[in-house]
Amino acid sequence: MAPMTKPLVSIQNAGKIYKNGTVALAGLDLDVREGEVLTLLGPSGCGKSTILRLIAGLDNLSSGTLTRDFELDHASIGYVFQDPTLMPWASVFDNVFLPLRLRGVARSEASPAVNEALALVGLAPSGRAFPRELSGGMRMRASIARALVLRPLVLLMDEPFAALDEITRFKLNDDLLALQGELGTTIVFVTHSVFESVFLSSRIAVMGPRPGRVVAEIAIDAPLARGNFRTSTAYAHYCAQASRALHGAMDADVK
């Protein structure tokens, strides 16, 4: 399955050193394959967010190579941050409209696409609301709708549900997988939650800290339609495996 497809993004022997001397990444190899949900699982400060910024072209590598199998333009990447990052002065509709507006599309012309994106995340009735009038989970849904409105090839998500309560997070995890099934979007998802990574992924890249690199890759061999996956023994097995890999990475760092 997955190894047969050509990688959408291929990162080889990558290093990133920030101006202040921090070595964020060193010797990182990572492929993003079409149609997969890849999670980057690791402790904070291991360069997970840096990888997303590099893929999005918001930052450049210090060494190594990053190749994309697509043209990097306004519609190729969707980005969801840890905070919903909505414009508080604009309605939910206008927030989701933003990527189209910046392309010079008129509001009336953009309206069907915006409404469709809102419907995808279950926010169809809330277009006229302002961000501050929504719950945290709904704000995150609006943020996801904005990222999807141009139907990007790759959706980058930087710990999007970390600040939400567990019940909301589970619901959003379910809905995200349903969305992925519907659209087939390739997703790169950053998290520090073992359970979230196992539930969402077709593949987990476990990362070690300082400098960030991939220490283990775990393929989750279960279809992405995951109704009862959370209660299955396979799920528990994968969680244990991911936990061990993560602890291994941390211990190696301490020594």
Partner 1 sequence: MKSFDGSLPQWAVRYGPPVLVFAGVLAAWEAYVRLWNVPAYILPSPSLVLETLFTDRATLFPALLVTLKTTFAALAASVAGGVGLAILFTQWKWVERSFLPFAIVLQVTPIVAIAPLLLIYLEAPAAVLVCAFLVAFFPILSNTALGLASADRNLVDLFKLYRATHWQTLLHLRLPAALPYFLGGVRIGGGLALIGAIVAELAAGNAGKGAGLAFRISEAGYRLNIPRMFAALALISATGIAIFAALSALSFYLLGRWHDSAVGPER
Q: What residues make contact with partner 1 under the rule CB under 8 A?
A: 53, 56-58, 73-74, 77, 79, 81, 83, 85, 87-90, 98-99, 101-103, 130-133
DSSP string across 60-75: --SEEEEEESS---TT
Q: How far is the CB of 98 from partner 1 (least distance, A)?
A: 7
Q: How far apart are CA 65 and CA 52, in angstroms?
A: 15
Nearer to partner 1, 130 or 170 (CB): 130
Closer to partner 1 by Cβ: residue 72 or 236: 72
Give the CA angle between residues 201, 207, 208 to the nearest 5°: 160
At 32, is the secondary structure helix, strand, or coil? strand
d(Cα 127, Cα 97) in Å, to the nearest integer? Answer: 10
- Pair of tokens at residue 114: 């915006």
- When the beta carbons of 50 and 202 are compared against partner 1, the nearer one is 50
The smaller minimum CB distance to partner 1, of residues 99 and 208, is found at: 99
* Minimum distance, C-beta of residue 222 to partner 1, in the bound complex (Å): 32
Beta bridge partners of 217: 205
Least gap, CB of 97 to partner 1 (angstroms): 11
Question: Could you tell me the smallest distance in angstroms from the CB atom of residue 72 to partner 1?
Answer: 10
As measured in angstroms, the least distance from the Cβ of 107 to partner 1 is: 13
Which of 136, 135, 94 is CA-nearest to residue 117?
Answer: 94
65 burial type by CB count under 10 A (0-12 exposed, 13-18 middle, 19+ buried) = exposed
Of 145 and 198, which CB lies nearer to partner 1 in the complex structure?
A: 145
Closest contact distance (angstroms) between CB of 241 and partner 1 is 33
CB 188 within 8 A of CB 156: yes
Nearer to partner 1, 113 or 206 (CB): 113
Closest CA to 223 of 178, 186, 161: 178
